[in-house]
Amino acid sequence: MNKILFTPLILAASLVSTGLAAAEKPKNAAPVPAEMQQMMKTYSPALRQKVMALSPELKVTIQQLHAQHMRRAKETTLRQVMHEITADYQAIAVALATDNAELASEAARRLANHRIPKGGLLAYFPLDKVNDNDLGVLPAMNEIVEGSALKLADAADAGDLPKAASYMSDIMTGCVACHQKFRGTPGISANLMTPLSK
């Protein structure tokens, strides 16, 4: 199906089911959007409790962030998805370095429409970051990473490779910002006795 038509359909469907879910719940409980309800069935009690406590607005925001992505993983974890988007980012770099506007555009759109990992993003965040305050930065992170990737793709489609190249640092600024907030140091060893220097 046409991707442009499909996005509003998913959103409309999720809004309708959100309304239905809301009708079945006591008035003061925040409604949980449909796809998130499915994901929550797979969550540990501790994570489920954290997600239930999020504001209605943030639940809808997270649902929308998921809905903007067409591809759903069956088993792929967030870490594996991160490697996929790293590969896409590198493909864009190769494309720009070789004047290949078509690959630059294609890889940038694939990066923006990355797979949603099994269980959704929240399942992989540290539990103490699953709250309104910390997760509130997600739309901004999304905009700088994926918004810039889409702008890069548009510039590449228009044949403006210098402009396309200028978005590379915006994208990486977003990657780094999100990691500073939600990721520890990758691959630290439990068998090292010396504390980390930072």
Decide if 54 contacts 122 (C-beta within 8 A): no
Q: What residues numbered 171-190 form the site for ligand HEC, per CB under 6 A? A: 171, 174-175, 178-179, 182-183, 186-187
For residue 116, the SS3 value is strand
Closest CB 67 distance from ligand HEC, rounded Å: 16
Identity (one letter) of the amino acid at 81?
V
Integer Cα distance of 149 and 151 in angstroms? 5
Number of chain residues interacting with ligand HEC (CB under 6 A): 20
From the list 69, 173, 176, 50, the residue with the least C-alpha distance to 120 is 69
Pick the piece of the chain touching ligand HEC (CB under 6 A) from 12-20, 39-47, 75-83, 189-197. 75-83
Decide if 107 contacts 92 (C-beta within 8 A): yes
Report the greatest alpha carbon distance in the chain. Answer: 58
CB nearer ligand HEC, residue 129 or residue 163: 129
How many other CB atoms are found less than 10 A from the CB of residue 195?
A: 6
Pick the piece of the chain touching ligand HEC (CB under 6 A) from 31-39, 41-49, 94-102, 170-178. 170-178
- Candidates 51, 85, 112, 161: give the one binding ligand HEC (CB under 6 A): 85
Residue identified by tokens 């540990």 is 44
CB nearer ligand HEC, residue 26 or residue 186: 186
- Candidates 51, 82, 92, 153: give the one binding ligand HEC (CB under 6 A): 82
Would you tell me which residues interact with ligand HEC (CB under 6 A)? 78-79, 82-83, 85-86, 89, 124-125, 141, 145, 171, 174-175, 178-179, 182-183, 186-187
